[in-house]
Amino acid sequence: MRRQKLRFAMIGTGNFGPFLAQYINGVAEVVAICDPSPEARTRFHQITRLKVPDYDSSDRLFAEVDFDAVALAGPNHTHKSLTIAAAQAGKHVFCEKTMAPNVPDCWEMVRACEAANVRLMVGHKRRLRPPWARMIELREDLGSVVAISTVLYFDARPDNLRGWWAREADSGGVLTLGGVHEIDWMRAMCDDVEAVSAVSGPPIDPNYDFSDSIHVMLRFRNGAIGLLGVSLSYPLLRYRQVYGAEVMCRQGGMHLQTFMHHAELSWRLLSESETHQQRFEAKGEDPVGSEVAFRKEVGDFVRWVTEGTAPCLTWREGLRCVEVIEAARRSAKKNGSWIQLPLYPELETG
């Protein structure tokens, strides 16, 4: 008998785990959870009220639970080993960003899933949220992108990004704490990145083993240029207040300004004298458009597995973001030298 719903196991039940579980349960079913922290598992049960078995070991989870797919919501440096284990067990993989701390790890994940003929998607929702999706649409009127920029100076202290987050080898560094969503959205606007140049500022917060400020220049294959600035130690703004962007297109431009509970998008053609405006409201305490994006990516993943329907995302978006981040780290250590992509051409063809 065919199952009515795809069965998920969730590995990683920290702050994001309960949030993701509600969207999975909208189109599928979470049947088990796994996290080495008993406190995290208890909190997950309390928030979600799901009465599902929990495990402190992924080995036991794979051995004892019947499920179809795994959702990885734990630390970035655990994604590779868990994806390989899932693939070897014949499980499809939905992996939260950032895919892995480095590109070779990403390719190992991809090859393991290809060998096992299972699906691998990396969640990158920014391009799917209505304000950013609208800017992608507006290129039809404004023309292709010539220049694109966003500056993320925010105070990361309230988010308590410590532990593995603060170790570059485990997290991937500053751009995984702020900037990975923007990199993916810029790629959605401009296509693949051809070269990366980056410089780091003097470190401020001693809890990180990397500089907490970086400026990145991007050169896209279509000729567009991009600028991304990130600082984790800017006390005036929270993260949700700095999602904004400036975009110059061949026939006009766009400006996005974000606030805690809404976003305002403006655009104008070079031939126009009036500015168009659109306002996007947040729903409750969630960031603007996050519910739409989560439903889209999780729903697409489930349909990709069950029906073979082409999804909005695969592993490619996740891998290319990690590639830009790793290139920026290399460039910053070489005082801004341009780093050409792909970083590992020998891995591209398998």
In a domain, 101, yes or no: yes
Provide the pLDDT for residue 350: 60
Question: Are 90 and 227 in a shared domain?
Answer: no
Q: What is the pLDDT of residues 42-84, one digit of tens each?
A: 999 999 999 999 999 999 999 999 999 999 999 999 999 999 9
pLDDT category at 1 given cuts 50, 70, 90 is: very low
Inter-residue contact 287 to 239 (CB < 8 Å) = no
On average, the pLDDT of the chain sits at: 96
329 and 207 housed in the same domain: yes
H helical segments located in the chain: 16-27, 38-48, 58-64, 79-88, 103-116, 130-142, 168-171, 174-177, 180-190, 290-307, 316-333, 345-348
Examine the domain organization and report whether 278 and 144 are in the same domain.
yes
The partner residues of 216 in beta bridges, in order of sequence, read 198, 228
Edge to edge, the sheet with strand 7-11 lists 54-55, 29-34, 7-11, 69-72, 92-96, 120-123
Banded pLDDT at 300 (limits 50, 70, 90): very high
Residue 9 has pLDDT above 80, yes or no: yes
CA dihedral 32, 37, 38, 43 (to 10 degrees): -70
What confidence tens digit (pLDDT) does each residue in 104-131 have? 999 999 999 999 999 999 999 999 999 9
In the predicted structure, residue 232 carries a pLDDT above the cut 70: yes
Band (3; pLDDT cuts 50, 70, 90): low
Do residue 14 and residue 133 come from a single domain? no
Q: Provide the pLDDT confidence category of residue 292 given band limits of 50, 70 and 90.
A: very high
| pLDDT, position 178 | 96
Domain annotation covers residue 329? yes
Helix (H) / strand (E) element for 183: namely: helix 180-190
Same domain, 132 and 119: no
Tell me how many domains the chain contains. 2
Q: What is the CATH number of the domain that holds 299?
A: 3.40.50.720
Give the pLDDT confidence score for residue 287 in this predicted structure: 87
Tally of CB atoms within 10 A around 139: 18
Q: What is the mean pLDDT of residues 206-227?
A: 97
Task: Assess if residue 187 is contained within a domain.
Answer: yes
Q: Are 99 and 38 in contact (CB under 8 A)?
A: no
* Structure tokens that stand for 95 in this block: 């992996």
Average the pLDDT over 7-17 and give the result.
95
Residue 23: count other Cβ atoms within 10 Å of its Cβ.
Answer: 19
How far apart are the C-alpha atoms of 10 and 67, rounded to whole Å? 10
- Assess whether 130 and 240 both reside in one domain: yes
Please tell me whether residues 120 and 207 are part of one structural domain: no
- Which whole number is the average pLDDT over 179-203? 97
Model confidence at 4: pLDDT above 80: no
Cα torsion 182, 188, 192, 195: sign: negative
**pLDDT surpasses 60 at 229:** yes
